[in-house]
Amino acid sequence: MQIRFGILTVSTTCSADPDKDKAGPALENEILRAFPDSKVTFKRIVTDNKDNIIEVLYSVANDRLCDVLFTAGGTGFAASDVTPEATRAVIEKEATGITYVLLSKSLAVTEMAMLSRLTSGIKEKTLIINFPGSTKASVECFGFIKACLPHAVALLQERDSEVKAEHMRIQGENPSAESKVKIQTGASRMRKSPYPLLEVEEAFALVLKTVIPRNEIEEIPIEDALDRILAESIKASRPIPPFPASMKDGYACRAADGGGMKLVRSSAAAGDVPCVEPLRPGEVIRISTGAAIPAGADAVVQVEDTTLVAVTENGEDETSINVNVTPKVGQDIRQIGSDVQADALVLQKCTRITPAYIGVLAMLGLNKVKVNRRPQIGIISTGNELVPPKGPLQPGLIYDSNKVTLLTLLKKYGYEAKDCGIARDTPNSVKSILERAFDCNDFIVSSGGVSMSEYDLLKQVLVEDFNAIIHFGRVNMKPGKPTVFATLTYKEKMKVIFALPGNPVSCCVTSILFVIPTLRHLENYKAFSEWPKIKILLEQDVNNNDPRPEYVRLKVSRNCENKLIGVSTGNQISSRLNSMVDANALMVVPGKTVIQKGEVVTCTLFDQIA
């Protein structure tokens, strides 16, 4: 559903300098992330003045400039905070429920939310909602209420068909989502997979060939850029340091004066305006590290190489010192551009941004940086037996552990993903969950529903309802054999799908081997072509009875001789997630093979060494 959003930043400071408005742009970003088909049709910054705010609210509602207007700021206890009063003056009906959700959920984040006087309500057909002015809080508040917005707008705008559709969506149904797939029970069900069994390397090569990085770029604040991939090479726009600076605490002097007694003319601390009156023969200026070298000085003598000769009458200032070590020209001076020359290439495109990168950007005076856009990722679980991990468990059901494992696994490697729900094992449910996931995401990771039972419907729904291409549907590995990689076009956009097996270990191992490397590739992270491989000493026999290569989970650590050693994490059955708990590496054991204790083996390291 298309919604027209408006953002009104209420801040006298931002009104004078729009660059200071952080909440407005952050909200816009979040809105478009949550509702990619929608538009932000109104943006304005207004001073903390009640009449001005009222005037803007009236014109937005009367001229129907948007369907939902968020205000950011002016909701606190300061005398100037009047947004709720202005809002109340304009609205015809209060949206008490929205206000309640905003306050109660904010209180769960911080007790300080009790100082927030948010209100919300309806003027004509426009929903007006107050958010706090802080970027974090306003974005959080948007997250708390975003789910109700399509339905609220449909009701306000009397969009009957959309109200009905929203009702059904809320109940997990979708009338237009009648799937073409019919469950094949009994004798008609398939007994052999039609998908060829690919080797892991072959399968991943197919992924790399199919998924082409889109090279979309976004500009973000440098403090949010950690671990992102730099989308532009950065040249120094200015030299660093920008002026000759002292490397020591000591005395700026003329090298030609040599050692001996010198008059202390004045002092120069870091941050002081550079002294322009040239140093005369026999003079020195007391200087601190980072201070600009005074005119005429060409060396710094560190304080340790001097002795005090005389002080002022009150004893507070030095008047003369003795230089004990003859200085050399340039000694302890960082010349202009000695760290970085102007125009030098300092940061290379397509590399991962570390804290020091961010520091270099700041040194160059940059507070924003262009990075490669990351895909929007949605996570789905499938299975009639699954319930969210809370409350009592009915017989036959289990808690959904894969979704939260996948969400946090991706987060660990830097990728934010969205929870797109649990699909039931019916074609309609799988279809409608996928459809909703495709609406807001371009990269879907699902778990379950890809094996051989009549209720494993993922592949069929992908192919029959979405015209997906299944690039592979089986991989020669244990665990993870039924792993599926598919692509399709939905609303003219390419979607990438990894449908992973439901067993929790299979789901983790295949995420590590396929999903994370594909995300790295999509993000154009050139340095990451595969996980690092290391050699370790195996501390126990490992036996693979299966004909498939087994990806044995290992705990790699250092022994007392500082050698890397590995032990298996115990029973390797694919349902036992505890075999992943301490694992930081995977070792491939070929089919029907025993690897003996004491052998040096190569393994794939996907986490830190314990």
Q: Judged by CB under 6 A, does residue 385 bind ligand AMP? A: yes
- Specify the stretch interacting with ligand AMP by CB under 6 A; choose among 33-41, 180-188, 343-351, 446-454: 446-454
Q: Judged by CB under 6 A, does residue 419 bind ligand AMP? A: no
Residue 457: CB minimum distance to Mg ion, A: 9
User: Scanning residues 109 to 148, which ones bind Mg ion (CB under 5 A)?
Assistant: none
Beta strand 217-221 with 368-372: parallel, antiparallel or unpaired? antiparallel
Q: Judged by CB under 6 A, does residue 423 bind ligand AMP? A: no
Two tokens, residue 542: 């490992």
With CB under 5 to 8 Å by kind, the binding choice for 398 among Mg ion, ligand AMP, none is: ligand AMP
Q: Judged by CB under 5 A, does residue 244 bind Mg ion? A: no
C-alpha 242: how far from its chain's center? 33
Q: Judged by CB under 6 A, does residue 579 bind ligand AMP? A: no
Give me the residue whose beta carbon is nearest to ligand AMP.
502
| CA distance linking residue 130 with residue 140, whole number of Å | 12
Place of tokens 């726009």: 237
Q: Judged by CB under 6 A, does residue 581 bind ligand AMP? A: no
Would you list the DSSP string of 429-464? HHHHHHHHHHHH-SEEEEES--SSSTT--HHHHHHH
Query: How many residues lie near ligand AMP (CB under 6 A)?
Result: 19
Residue 439: CB minimum distance to ligand AMP, A: 22
b/e map 347-378, b = 16+ CB within 10 Å: beebebbeeebbebbebbeeeebbbbbbbbbb
Residue 59 — φ and ψ, nearest 5°?
-65, -35
Residue 13: CB minimum distance to Mg ion, A: 54
Tell me how far apart the 2 most distant CA atoms of the chain are, in Å. 109
Provide CB contacts within 8 A for 308, sequence distance 6+. Answer: 318, 321
Residue 278 — φ and ψ, nearest 5°?
-55, 145
Provide CB contacts within 8 A for 562, sequence distance 6+. Answer: none
Does a cis peptide bond (omega within 30 degrees of 0) precede residue 241? Answer: yes
Q: Judged by CB under 6 A, does residue 501 bind ligand AMP? A: yes
For the CA atoms of the chain, what is the radius of gyration?
A: 32
Of 80, 288, 451, 476, which one interacts with ligand AMP (CB under 6 A)? 451
Q: Judged by CB under 6 A, does residue 503 bind ligand AMP? A: yes
| CA distance linking residue 40 with residue 27, whole number of Å | 10
DSSP state of 340: B
Q: Judged by CB under 5 A, does residue 473 bind Mg ion? A: no
- C-beta of 214 vs 576, nearer to ligand AMP: 576
Q: Judged by CB under 5 A, does residue 73 bind Mg ion? A: no
- With contact defined as beta carbons under 8 Å apart, do 254 and 348 qualify? no
- C-beta of 71 vs 510, nearer to Mg ion: 510
Beta strand 333-334 with 245-246: parallel, antiparallel or unpaired? antiparallel
C-alpha 363: how far from its chain's center? 23
- C-beta of 506 vs 524, nearer to Mg ion: 506
- Specify the stretch interacting with ligand AMP by CB under 6 A; choose among 103-111, 185-193, 400-408, 460-468: 400-408
With CB under 5 to 8 Å by kind, the binding choice for 385 among Mg ion, ligand AMP, none is: ligand AMP
With CB under 5 to 8 Å by kind, the binding choice for 48 among ligand AMP, Mg ion, none is: none
- C-beta of 315 vs 396, nearer to Mg ion: 396
**Strand, helix or coil for residue 349:** coil
Angle subtended by helix axes 135-145 and 23-34, to nearest 10: 30
- Specify the stretch interacting with ligand AMP by CB under 6 A; choose among 206-214, 236-244, 393-401, 520-528: 393-401
Q: Please choose, from the candidates 329, 163, 338, the residue with its C-alpha nearest in 3D space to the C-alpha of residue 241.
A: 338
Two tokens, residue 93: 């009906």
Q: Judged by CB under 5 A, does residue 383 bind Mg ion? A: yes
User: Scanning residues 413 to 452, which ones bind Mg ion (CB under 5 A)?
Assistant: 448-449
Q: In this structure, how many other beta carbons lie within 10 angstroms of the beta carbon of residue 559?
A: 10
- C-beta of 256 vs 452, nearer to ligand AMP: 452
- C-beta of 321 vs 386, nearer to Mg ion: 386
Of 12, 80, 157, 401, which one interacts with ligand AMP (CB under 6 A)? 401
Of 205, 398, 594, 609, which one interacts with ligand AMP (CB under 6 A)? 398
β-bridge mates for residue 159, sequence order: none
Q: In this structure, how many other beta carbons lie within 10 angstroms of the beta carbon of residue 510?
A: 29
- Specify the stretch interacting with ligand AMP by CB under 6 A; choose among 77-85, 364-372, 398-406, 411-419: 398-406
**Strand, helix or coil for residue 108:** helix
Q: Judged by CB under 6 A, does residue 94 bind ligand AMP? A: no
Of 138, 381, 460, 572, which one interacts with ligand AMP (CB under 6 A)? 381
With CB under 5 to 8 Å by kind, the binding choice for 500 among Mg ion, ligand AMP, none is: none
With CB under 5 to 8 Å by kind, the binding choice for 569 among ligand AMP, Mg ion, none is: none
With CB under 5 to 8 Å by kind, the binding choice for 375 among Mg ion, ligand AMP, none is: none
| CA distance linking residue 6 with residue 118, whole number of Å | 17
Q: Judged by CB under 5 A, does residue 501 bind Mg ion? A: no
Residue 591: CB minimum distance to ligand AMP, A: 22
Q: Judged by CB under 6 A, does residue 130 bind ligand AMP? A: no
- With contact defined as beta carbons under 8 Å apart, do 481 and 546 qualify? no
Q: Judged by CB under 6 A, does residue 448 bind ligand AMP? A: yes
Place of tokens 């023969």: 281
Residue 501: CB minimum distance to ligand AMP, A: 5
Residues lying near ligand AMP in the complex (CB under 6 A) = 381, 383, 385-386, 398, 400-403, 447-451, 456, 501-504
Residues lying near Mg ion in the complex (CB under 5 A) = 383, 448-449, 502
